[in-house]
């Protein structure tokens, strides 16, 4: 029996509601308990995965196996029933269940008879002990000798045939989306491979993984608006980190030479196809290395991650742009920030007036805000051009006033030793030779603080403890950071499609209110809304 879901998760064929199906399953649950069946036993046994049964069929045919999985279809013909189950690997297997005259079942062990088939539904989890066989039509199957109920599902899954396509519902009930849409399930397996490959590459290069705090007394290391929370134990406000940077550089001061951290960071900004307020990111810091060495390491890193995650270095992005990360002996081209603005907009980064810059913004239909400063305005012009770049390439020649944490170029002191990996119209990493002069760092923090005081909420905060740490001495170093936006782009999906459970506004629909009336009475609803 396959169920269809329309645009509303709760609406099904023949005008039946989710409550109707749930009530029927609750009736079956009651009947199972009356038989003495525990519909939620603690233990399951498995000798083979479904995938193993298919891969080793010739070896296993005629042999006993114990398999587990979720029922995705049930068909019955007299004394013969066919069930199809799948396990977490997404593999499917047919079960052949015959009714015998002398069948026995230990209900206390959650076992069922074939005559109890009507108490099972799609979505239920079962354990089957049986023999590997081929059906009369030649399908690889298992003939059931014993069947145990592992979990009684109270809600039906949408069918694979009908799918589950409403975007809002898919994101809210991702556990359904993953179950029904194999492409989504496979995406998050690759997401795991992406971060594992990142970790393994860095460890192979001698980097040590460090897990630094998420709560910080000062939000530093990036231009972003932080989330604020309160720690009762210290009676003090803290920020959820916007970057991994400053704690990792403190570890270079402590004496480590190669360190990295992978984990969540939080930026209290709006959603976009390329940004989520909460997302995973990685940063590494390498003592005694500079930006040139950092670019070489970045080329090796992105190629190693692509090889391990997708098995290719060539991609067609959602925008239609095609990129190729090349062979091991090639290097990415470099794009100068200063030259791009001069060539594309006739703007001299250091000499053009704010009036000239704003005129260029208007000419390209870009927003001019009252509190825009030189830094933000130049960045808007660059980003307007950046979206046309397929890449890969390195953006270089960033002005010192746009990067308060980077060393300056020896021959061009107005520019920093910074590089950003660009592809698919976006900057996928930011990296630079780290500033380790405490006096220079203090002056740059002061300039950032002046920008904050003038209304720039994303300008960096003064971190006097970090300045003091630098006074103990930090070796020359290169630092690098990228987020899972790299993964989203190469997968060809938006930010919300690229994470498992994106943050969404809390909502309770009418079906949920009807299903749980005890919770959603007038009084309890008020308490629930306050908690939400």
3-state secondary structure 50-71: HHHHHHCHHHHCCCEEEEEEEE
- Burial pattern 213-251, b for ≥16 Cβ within 10 A else e, equals eeebebbbbbbbbbbeeeeeeeeeebbbbbbbbbbbbbb
Beta-sheet pairing, 92-98 with 140-151: parallel
Please choose, from the candidates 84, 74, 77, 97, the residue with its C-alpha nearest in 3D space to the C-alpha of residue 28.
74
pLDDT by 10s per residue, the chain, length 532: 333 333 344 444 445 688 889 999 999 999 999 999 999 999 999 999 999 999 999 999 999 999 999 999 999 999 999 999 998 776 899 999 999 878 899 999 999 999 999 999 999 999 999 999 999 999 999 999 999 999 999 998 887 656 677 888 899 999 999 988 889 999 999 999 999 999 999 999 999 999 999 999 888 877 788 999 999 999 999 999 999 999 999 999 999 999 999 999 999 988 888 889 999 999 999 999 999 999 999 999 999 999 999 999 999 998 899 999 999 999 999 999 999 999 999 999 998 988 899 999 999 988 887 667 888 899 899 999 999 999 899 999 999 888 877 888 989 989 999 999 999 999 999 899 998 999 989 998 898 888 888 887 778 888 899 999 999 999 999 999 999 999 999 999 999 999 999 998 888 888 888 888 888 876 555 555 555 5
Please say whether the beta carbons of 381 and 366 come within 8 A: yes
| pLDDT for position 10 | 41
Find all residues with CB under 8 Å of 150, minimum gap 6, and list them: 40, 41, 44, 68, 110, 124, 125, 126, 127
Residues 6+ apart with CB under 8 A from 9: 18, 166, 169, 173, 176, 509, 511
Query: By the 8 A CB rule, do 490 and 464 touch?
Result: no
Angle between helices 374-386 and 337-345 (to 10 degrees): 80
Residue 14 has a pLDDT of: 43
Task: Write down the pTM of the prediction.
Answer: 0.87
Q: What stretch of H or E contains 324?
A: strand 322-324
pLDDT given for residue 45 in this prediction: 94
Mapped onto helix, strand or coil, the DSSP state of residue 406 is: strand
Q: What is the pLDDT of residue 221?
A: 79
Query: What structural domains does the chain harbor?
Result: 13-177 (2.40.50.140), 181-333+391-496 (3.30.930.10), 502-532 (no CATH)
CB–CB of 287/476 below 8 Å? yes
3-state SS of 1-31? CCCCECCCCCEEHHHCEHHHHHHHHHHHHHH
* Residues with Cβ within 8 Å of residue 515, at least 6 apart in sequence: 18, 19, 22
Helices (runs of H) and strands (runs of E) counted in the chain: 17, 22
């Amino acid at each position: 029996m396959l169920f269809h879901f329309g645009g509303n998760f709760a609406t099904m064929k023949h005008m039946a509601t989710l409550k109707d199906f749930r009530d029927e399953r609750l009736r079956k649950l009651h009947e199972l308990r009356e038989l003495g069946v525990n519909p939620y036993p603690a233990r399951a046994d498995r000798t083979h995965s479904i995938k193993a049964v298919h891969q080793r069929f010739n070896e296993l045919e005629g042999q006993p196996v114990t398999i587990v999985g979720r029922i995705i279809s049930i068909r019955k013909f007299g004394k013969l029933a066919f069930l199809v189950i799948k396990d977490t690997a997404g593999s499917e297997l047919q079960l052949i269940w015959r009714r015998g005259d002398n069948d026995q079942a230990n209900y206390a062990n959650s076992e069922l008879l074939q005559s109890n088939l009507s108490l099972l539904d799609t979505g239920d989890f079962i354990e089957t002990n049986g023999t590997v066989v081929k059906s009369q039509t030649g399908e690889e199957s298992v003939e059931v000798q014993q069947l145990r109920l592992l979990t009684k599902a109270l809600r039906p899954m949408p069918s694979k045939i009908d799918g589950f396509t409403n975007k809002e519902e898919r994101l809210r009930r991702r556990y359904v989306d993953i179950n029904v849409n194999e492409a989504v399930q496979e995406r998050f397996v690759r997401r795991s491979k992406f971060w594992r490959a990142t970790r393994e590459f860095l460890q192979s290069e001698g980097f040590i993984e460090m897990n630094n705090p998420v709560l910080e007394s000062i939000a530093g290391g990036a231009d972003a608006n932080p989330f604020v929370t309160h720690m009762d134990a210290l009676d003090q406000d803290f920020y959820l980190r916007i970057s991994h940077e400053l704690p990792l550089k403190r570890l270079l001061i402590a004496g480590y030479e190669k360190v990295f951290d992978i984990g969540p960071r939080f930026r209290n900004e709006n959603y976009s196809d390329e940004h989520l307020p909460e997302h995973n990111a990685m940063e590494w810091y390498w003592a005694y290395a500079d930006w040139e060495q950092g670019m070489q390491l970045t080329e090796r890193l992105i190629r190693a991650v692509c090889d391990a995650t997708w098995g290719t270095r060539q991609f067609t992005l959602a925008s239609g742009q095609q990129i190729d990360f090349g062979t091991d002996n090639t290097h990415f081209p470099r794009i100068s920030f200063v030259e791009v603005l001069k060539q594309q907009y006739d703007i001299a980064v250091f000499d053009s007036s704010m009036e000239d810059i704003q005129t260029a913004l208007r000419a390209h239909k870009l927003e001019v805000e009252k509190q825009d400063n030189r830094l933000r305005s130049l960045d808007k012009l660059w980003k307007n051009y950046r979206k046309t770049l397929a890449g890969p390439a390195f953006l270089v020649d960033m002005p010192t006033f746009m990067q308060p944490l980077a060393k300056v170029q020896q021959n061009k002191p107005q520019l920093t030793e910074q590089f950003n990996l660009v592809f698919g119209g976006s900057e996928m990493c930011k990296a630079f030779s780290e500033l380790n002069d405490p006096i220079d760092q203090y002056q740059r923090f002061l300039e950032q603080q002046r920008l904050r005081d003038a209304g720039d909420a994303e300008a960096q905060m003064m971190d006097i403890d970090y300045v003091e740490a630098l006074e103990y001495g930090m070796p020359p170093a290169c630092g690098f950071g990228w987020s899972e936006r790299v993964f989203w782009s190469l997968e060809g999906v938006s930010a919300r499609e690229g994470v498992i459970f994106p943050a969404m506004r809390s909502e309770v629909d009418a079906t949920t209110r009807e299903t749980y009336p005890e919770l959603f009475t007038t009084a309890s609803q008020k308490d629930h809304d306050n908690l939400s």
